[in-house]
Amino acid sequence: MSNLANKRVLKELKDFVSNNSATNGPLKLVSSQDKVDCILIEMRITSNPLYDPNTPFTLSYQIGDDYPFSPPQIVFVGSNIPVHPHIYSNGHICLNILYDGWTPVQSISSIVLSLQSMLLNNRVLEKPHDDENHCKYGPSNPLLSKWVFHDDTV
């Protein structure tokens, strides 16, 4: 990871921790180190009856050398992947701001809040219509997927 990317990530982590530690809310930093290229963050959805508020979802951020000018690879990991029309069973997230809509203004906090909002506002427990094919034949890195962003109502 470049020095610029590392400095930016360390600043974002500091902001993220300070903004979320006061409330002891549903966002929690799981791991980080002095040179950060992968971050795990726990997210709990406490205000949507579709999701168990006691069961965390874990996000993985893999940050490349071009960060923040190119997006990090962000996926849900672990055995508890949220069921949502835009989240695949392999943890890939179909959300424009993680790909074509990425801008350097975005941060760890803004992305986590966007994903939390997406889950809080979900009204149906269903997987994407092409979940099985994407998980079986799609690339392991979601940044290499050819997403079609056609539904921003979910």
Question: Tokens representing 122?
Answer: 């979900």
Query: Residue 24 has what pLDDT?
Result: 47
Residue 151 lies in a domain: no
Residue 65 has pLDDT above 60, yes or no: yes
Number of domains the chain is built from = 1
- Domain at 55, CATH number: 3.10.110.10
* pLDDT tens-digit map of 83-102: 999 999 999 999 999 999 99
Per residue in 99-145, pLDDT (tens digit) is 999 999 999 999 999 999 999 999 999 999 999 999 999 999 999 98
Residue 140 is assigned to a structural domain of this protein: yes
pLDDT reading at 57 higher than 50: yes
Backbone angles phi, psi at 16, to 5 degrees: -60, -50
Token reading at 121: 């506002």
Give pTM, 2 decimals: 0.88
Angstrom distance (rounded) from CA 23 to CA 124: 29
* Predicted local distance difference test score (pLDDT) of residue 64: 87
Catalytic residues: 94
- To 10 degrees, the CA torsion angle through 142, 145, 149, 150? -120
Cα 148 to Cα 98, 145, 152: the distances in Å are 13, 9, 11
Percent of the chain surpassing pLDDT 90: 61
Arithmetic mean of pLDDT, 9-24: 76
What is the residue range of 19's domain? 3-144
Is residue 153 domain-resident? Answer: no
